[in-house]
């Protein structure tokens, strides 16, 4: 297993982040007349998906490193 399953989920959520960001940017433009970065609730919502995906990727690869250390002990 080269890439842990939890990291793959994280990478998939990164794709979801891109999709959510596009949707939020459209809503910001149409509803508020501004950029996504100017509408804090929408910007925070989009960025939360990036935070979640990054966290899952890191956790996945940290588990791989920990398992390698245990096997080498």
Question: Measured between alpha carbons, how far is 31 from 29 in angstroms, rounded to an integer?
Answer: 6
pLDDT digits (tens, 9 = 90+) for 13-64: 999 999 999 999 999 999 999 999 999 999 999 999 999 999 999 999 999 9
Single pTM value for the model: 0.82
pLDDT at residue number 71: 78
pLDDT at residue number 1: 63
Residue with tokens 């966290």: 55
Q: Kindly list the distances between the CA atom of residue 71 and the CA atoms of 52, 57, 62, 66, 67, in Å, as whole numbers in the listed order.
A: 29, 22, 14, 9, 6
pLDDT at 3 over 80: yes
Work out whether the CA dihedral 3, 15, 21, 45 comes out positive or negative. negative
- E strand spans, the chain: none
């Amino acid at each position: 297993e080269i890439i842990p399953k939890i990291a793959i989920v994280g990478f998939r959520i990164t794709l979801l982040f891109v999709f959510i960001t596009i949707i939020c940017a459209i809503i910001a433009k149409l509803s508020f007349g501004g950029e996504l970065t100017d509408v804090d609730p929408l910007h925070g919502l989009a960025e939360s998906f990036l935070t979640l995906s990054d966290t899952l990727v890191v956790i996945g690869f940290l588990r791989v490193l920990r398992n390698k250390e245990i096997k080498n002990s």
